[in-house]
Structure 1
Amino acid sequence: MSTDFQNARVALGARLRELRVEAGLNGKEFAARIGWQRSKVSRLENGKQTATEADTDAWAAAAGFLEQASDLRARLRGLESQQRSWRRQLAAGHRPVQDRYVVEYQQTRAVRGYEATVIPGLFQTPDYARYLIDANITLMQSPRDTEAAVAARIRRQEVLYEAGKLFRVLLWEGALYAFVCPRDVMVGQLDRLVGLIGMSTVELGVVPLGAPLPLTPKHGFWIFDEERVIVETINTELCYDSVDDVALYGRVWDGLDTAAVYGPRAHRLIARARRAIAPA
């Protein structure tokens, strides 16, 4: 079973548990109401068993949230791997995708990432995330669940404070100047980046404009535990887990890293962008 599939299944289980709790029932009571063995309720909630559409429909009805049946069905359709259409993933809105990311980052110890045009979700402020998610909702014509999606995205950031994890992230300097939000929101976002420098779990590098590069930076990508790579395109999320693909993206990251600056030098580049956006 692929890691992505299991992460999505765990996220679905967490949502099922939320609905049961909101209904005010414990596991035994819910099992009795829905007519199942208690063990099945437990397996579904803990991501140990793949639900069917009949299961999710029955769950929504038993919890008294029939309006959630379509959301649960859409989450089921998102249990894919390797190549996942954003349109299909976002059929129930952005929150289910963000919930899956929360699980994925919780289960990962080391990440190497690169972004060329946007501040990574792992480092975003709520206001910055809100503008990005709103814009993507409009683009994809998906359900407008902005606030729930923002909350889930920010919850993902709890992993930054867990001992033993390491997030090595490279950011193209041009992303510091990309106005995807109002100036005051961008200023707050840049201040957030500065605050990450020096954290024990974060190594933030900035690839300067004009720096000699061993290769051209093409698109963002994320390497999880040196086992799989996630690449996001406009319409698709791609997952690669072959040894050759992981090694290839690792070499690309290493090449970009040779051009990146860290610590005080990265701080100066961020401060320069801040001054350009909001002159004193």
Structure 2
Amino acid sequence: MPASPSSSAQAAREALAVRLTHLRKDAGLTGKELSARCGWHPAKTTRIQKGEVQPTDVDIRAWCAACDAADQADDLIATARAVDLMYVEWRRNHRTGMRKTQEDFYDLYAQTGVTRAYVSNVVPGFFQTPAYATALMGAITDFQGTPNDVSEAVAARVARSRFLYEGGHRFVVLMEECVLRYRVGDAETMAGQLRHLLTVMPLPSVSLGIIPFTAKRTMWPLEAFYLHDATRSVVETLTAEVNVVQPRELADYRKAFGELTKMAVHGNAARALINAAIGSLG
């Protein structure tokens, strides 16, 4: 498994490797002896212990059986699966299409009280119109070469917008002005999306700030990230979804969000930037 760009995922992978190494040592086995009992090459044991290879469920059960610790297998497997979910390639997530991923995100938002989102690329999913979502997800599907279920995926993505109108959910969004200017779809699609932003801005559940092109930068533009309460940050890269759960890193994302907030404009000033973007479409 390739190393994750998130230190959270790598640290968790290394912690699992340490647990397995201690299990071997507690059993009084050398790496070669454990490998012989498991029926694989010693190099595999070395890679697992270094955190270079993510062990499968079968690997973990064989490892525990070799160490006379079969009772620890289920817990270690659960840990390994949690590590695996920290860094998930989009192509792996979308191998059967995008709908399932969108449904999983729906469940995440249903459980989140406060979502803090910073976007520098596209409008967040819970603000997207069907036309904008269709254009964006169609482009993603074409790029990834994954099965095309865009219509079903769009319906699942747009369904998230219901949380804007229900009690118990709040959305604090910071958007770089460039997001208003990037043309996703045709001019009509983009104009409809921008007008929709004006529609959701007055909602009690929504706080929308725009970081102008002219803002004096005290924080550089970042990759899009979504803070779900205080427990998880979902970071979107070109190739993967990175789930950050390590407290130190979560604190960094909260700090970054605070710094970005200082550069944003709200209310009438934000509406003026959105209207200017609409006007630029002709």
State the TM-score, normalized to the length of structure 1: 0.70
Match for 1:206: what amino acid? I
* Aligned residue in 2 for 1:230: 234
Q: Supply the distance in 1 between the matched residues of 2:169 and 2:82 (Cα, whole angstroms).
A: 27
Identity %: 34
Q: Supply the distance in 2 between the matched residues of 1:82 and 1:220 (Cα, whole angstroms).
A: 16
Q: Mapping of 1:1-280 within 5 angstroms?
A: 80-278=84-282
* Aligned residue in 1 for 2:62: none
Match for 1:188: what amino acid? G
Match for 1:160: what amino acid? L
Aligned structure 1 segments of 4 or more residues deviating by more than 6 angstroms: none
* Cα pair 1:78 1:89 within 8 Å, conserved: no
The 1:227–1:182 alpha-carbon spacing in structure 2 relative to 1, beyond 3 Å, is same
Q: Supply the distance in 2 between the matched residues of 1:262 and 1:119 (Cα, whole angstroms).
A: 16
* Cα pair 1:78 1:84 within 8 Å, conserved: no
Q: Supply the distance in 2 between the matched residues of 1:226 and 1:262 (Cα, whole angstroms).
A: 24
Q: Supply the distance in 2 between the matched residues of 1:146 and 1:126 (Cα, whole angstroms).
A: 11
Q: Could you list the per-position Cα deviations for residues 67-93 of structure 1 after superposition, in whole angstroms to 9, with x for gaps in the alignment? A: xxxxxxxxxx99941100111110010
| Partner secondary structure for residue 216 of structure 1 | coil
Structure 2: unaligned runs, 5 residues or longer:
1-80
Q: Supply the distance in 1 between the matched residues of 2:220 and 2:86 (Cα, whole angstroms).
A: 25
CA RMSD of aligned residues (A): 1.7
Q: Supply the distance in 2 between the matched residues of 1:109 and 1:262 (Cα, whole angstroms).
A: 22
* Aligned residue in 2 for 1:29: none
Q: Supply the distance in 2 between the matched residues of 1:173 and 1:234 (Cα, whole angstroms).
A: 20
* Aligned residue in 2 for 1:37: none
Q: Supply the distance in 2 between the matched residues of 1:79 and 1:154 (Cα, whole angstroms).
A: 29
Q: Supply the distance in 1 between the matched residues of 2:172 and 2:121 (Cα, whole angstroms).
A: 17
Q: Supply the distance in 1 between the matched residues of 2:142 and 2:237 (Cα, whole angstroms).
A: 16
How many Å apart are 1:156 and its aligned residue?
Answer: 1.2
Q: Could you list the per-position Cα deviations for residues 169-214 of structure 1 after superposition, in whole angstroms to 9, with x for gaps in the alignment? A: 0000011010121000000000000011111001011000110121
Structure 1: unaligned runs, 5 residues or longer:
1-76
Match for 2:185: what amino acid? C
| Partner secondary structure for residue 246 of structure 1 | helix
State the TM-score, normalized to the length of structure 2: 0.70
* Aligned residue in 2 for 1:4: none
Of the two, which has the highest radius of gyration?
A: 2
* Cα pair 1:127 1:185 within 8 Å, conserved: yes
Q: Supply the distance in 1 between the matched residues of 2:161 and 2:84 (Cα, whole angstroms).
A: 24
Q: Supply the distance in 1 between the matched residues of 2:222 and 2:201 (Cα, whole angstroms).
A: 25
Q: Could you list the per-position Cα deviations for residues 130-166 of structure 1 after superposition, in whole angstroms to 9, with x for gaps in the alignment? A: 0000000000100000100000001111111111211
| Partner secondary structure for residue 147 of structure 2 | coil
